[in-house]
């Protein structure tokens, strides 16, 4: 009887083990997910990449020779401006970067010699807006 009881326990244990091992939750976990981990990681990194690209566009504009001249004529320190760009909100950075890209595209499209007075004024206005926004936010 002792041997029969051990066999019965082993059979019951194997039956229960197989039921739990092949449960629907385990089968679902092995299926492919709707959204992969790589896609999630890419989506998480996208805002930071966008922010970096926007800051780079602003810094590229402000570091050009014509912009440096405009900043000097308006008595705006480039180092303060550079620090202020890092403190802008994502929305403000995106708006200002769009304007700076438009200005650079206009420059590349035809006026290769120098920037017009209007373009220099836009550079100064963008710089003053950046500094003013930072002063208001502090």
| Predicted confidence (pLDDT) per residue in 66-86, tens digit | 778 877 877 878 888 888 888
The full set of domain ranges for the chain reads: 52-137
* Per-residue burial over 46-61, b = 16 or more CB atoms within 10 Å of its CB, e = otherwise: eeeeebeebbebbbeb
Q: Give the C-alpha distances (Å, rounded to integers) separating 7 from 2, 12, 17.
A: 9, 9, 15
Given a cut of 70, is residue 32 above it in pLDDT?
no
Q: Average the pLDDT over 114-122 and give the result.
A: 70
Give residue 53's pLDDT band: very low, low, confident or very high (50, 70, 90).
very high
78-110 confidence digits (pLDDT tens):
888 888 888 888 888 898 888 888 877 776 666
């Amino acid at each position: 009887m002792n041997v029969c009881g051990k066999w019965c326990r082993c059979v019951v244990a194997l039956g229960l083990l197989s039921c739990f091992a092949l449960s629907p939750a385990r089968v679902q976990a092995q299926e492919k997910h709707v959204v992969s981990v790589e896609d999630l990681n890419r989506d998480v990194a996208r805002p930071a990449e966008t922010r970096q690209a926007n800051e780079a566009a602003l810094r590229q504009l402000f570091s050009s020779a014509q912009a440096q001249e405009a900043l000097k004529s308006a008595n705006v320190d480039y180092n303060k401006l550079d620090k202020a760009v890092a403190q802008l909100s994502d929305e403000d950075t995106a708006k200002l970067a769009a304007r700076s890209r438009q200005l650079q595209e206009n420059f590349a499209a035809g006026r290769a010699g120098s920037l017009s007075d209007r373009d220099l004024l836009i550079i100064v206005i963008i710089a003053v807006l950046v500094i003013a926004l930072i002063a208001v936010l502090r």
